[in-house]
Amino acid sequence: MKNKKERIVILGAGFGGFTLAKKLSGADYDVYLIDRHNFHQFQPLFYQVAMAGLEPSSIVFPLRKAFQNSKNITIRVAEIKAINTQEKLVETESEEIHYDHLVIATGAVTNYFNNDNFEKHSYSLKTVSEALAIRNDIFDDLEKAITTKSYDNRQQLIDIAIVGGGPTGVELAGALAELKKYILPKDYKELNADEVDIYLIQGGDRLLIGMSDEAGQKALKFLESLGVKVMLNTRVTDIDGSCIKTKDGQTIIANKVIWAAGITCEDIPGISKEYRQGRNQILINDQLEVEGLDDVYAIGDAAYLKTESMEYGHPQVAQVAIQMAHHMAKKFRKSNTKAFVYKDKGSMATIGRNKAVADLPWMTSAGFFAWVLWLLVHLASLIGFKNKLFVLINWMWNYLTYDQSLRLIIKPSKAKKQP
């Protein structure tokens, strides 16, 4: 009788889950990759989709296409309902899937700090769908603003606030500033572009907390030179859909607020609170095993690994997820039993044309060199030659013409069924 292969079930097709599945393609395992979407998303470029710099198809890759030649990989597009660690089952809305080894790579979601108004009246930027929603509403409101006579009502439509001064907030603010500078005067001649205010609200005393102080200062200087109103040491207390209120008594008029002030991890029934720490992350040891559970592992944003050098856990960035995935693949292939050690390759953030900051292991850079490096690293990290080519062409066209041709308002409508 032929022995059945052991089954590895991977939850999530983000950087960690996708990379692990790729590394296990052709291995002597039956691998199930489960995600609520049927594509892998390149999250670092979501903001460019939101700002009409790239089409979403350029930064996503269909899972079934990615693994069409991998006979041992099975794709399931489904929501995870629960994990039964006693019976070794993953429950989805349509089936139960048995596992011999389970890898949780479900990533992170926006953290609204249990404030319903923050969630109800702001945009998140964690999926390509949310990026498209932001793009649609920005240009929809610009169209409405053209015929809005009241100054205050017009400001609600055209002013935009971003809460959170990390890489996402900084990159969004820079892209919005360039949209205001280069696009609005050409496309929306009836509007006074000088009326458009872009706010970046940060609760701490500097930007880019996870990077060096020099990088944070440079980013602040670049944003201010682009006309962004950066508000440091400012905490948001309420958002009501028309304005933002802060702890120090300020009121900012804007009906578009993009929330980039933190992330957390979703609860999965079956993984109790005793196995969680940090931002609701799952506690793991240096073998990436979930403490207290047999044959269950966690990688990427969902995992919390405390070490002597990282007493608050690893940063929730793509490189950590990718390196953990490589480590897990070697472990499953029986070629690695060493403890996981993260190798920090540096951090980068772009603010706009010729403006970026980069913290590298050997230096900190800002300006044109950091910007070119950011472009090359992100281009190389995209999945698929066609995606790389399309993104490169879009970037070159934008750089040469100071323009993009993707400013479309595309909203889904319900298709009518023919009788």
Tell me the three-class secondary structure of 188-257, residue by residue: CCCCCHHHCCEEEECCCCCCCCCCCHHHHHHHHHHHHHCCCEEECCCCEEEECCCEEEECCCCEEECCEE
Domains 7-108+265-332 and 116-262 share a fold: yes
pLDDT of amino acid 210? 87
- Is the CATH number of domain 116-262 3.40.50.1820? no
* Dist. CA 378–CA 146, nearest whole Å: 36
Using an 8 Å Cβ cutoff, are 121 and 219 in contact?
no
pLDDT of amino acid 2? 46
Q: Which residues of the chain have pLDDT under 50?
A: 1-2
Q: Which fold has domain 7-108+265-332?
A: FAD/NAD(P)-binding domain (3.50.50)
pLDDT of amino acid 417? 55
pLDDT of amino acid 418? 59
pLDDT of amino acid 222? 97
CB count within 10 Å of CB 23 equals 18
pLDDT of amino acid 1? 36
pLDDT of amino acid 414? 57
* Domain locations along the chain: 7-108+265-332, 116-262
CB count within 10 Å of CB 40 equals 25
Which residue has tokens 């300006």?
Answer: 367
pLDDT of amino acid 413? 62
